[in-house]
Amino acid sequence: GAVVSQHPSRVICKSGTSVKIECRSLDFQATTMFWYRQFPKKSLMLMATSNEGSKATYEQGVEKDKFLINHASLTLSTLTVTSAHPEDSSFYICSARDSGQVDQETQYFGPGTRLLVL
């Protein structure tokens, strides 16, 4: 149980284009999902908290208009990197909390999406 998928697993795009990453909870419902970014050998950095049916909460320094988050259903959140630049190249990982569990605090991670912007 508690499986989270991400798509795509790897994407290469040209500078200036937009990239959409999907995060799905496969066997549970997730009111809350999280989007992280991780650079090589660095710690996870929380970008935003995605809440189903409402606007995402962004961390300080994360541009809302650049990283668009949509959490339209209890099993799907999407992150769109708009007008991507080489400095956006990173490992993007989503996680989700199981809304139906008594212990709702555990975050289950998707496998991550490796983005390379040329």
* Separation of alpha carbons 66 and 43, rounded Å: 22
Binding residue for other proteins, selected from 93, 101, 102, 117, defined by CB under 8 A:
93
Q: Is 96 in the site for other proteins (CB under 8 A)?
A: no
Query: In the complex, what is the shortest distance from the CB of residue 51 to other proteins, in angstroms, rounded to a whole number?
Result: 12
* Separation of alpha carbons 86 and 97, rounded Å: 31
Q: Is 101 in the site for other proteins (CB under 8 A)?
A: no
Of the two residues 15 and 59, which places its CB atom closer to other proteins in the complex?
59
Q: Is 65 in the site for other proteins (CB under 8 A)?
A: no
Q: Are 115 and 11 in contact (CB under 8 A)?
A: yes
Would you tell me which residues interact with other proteins (CB under 8 A)? 2, 41-46, 49, 93, 103, 105-112
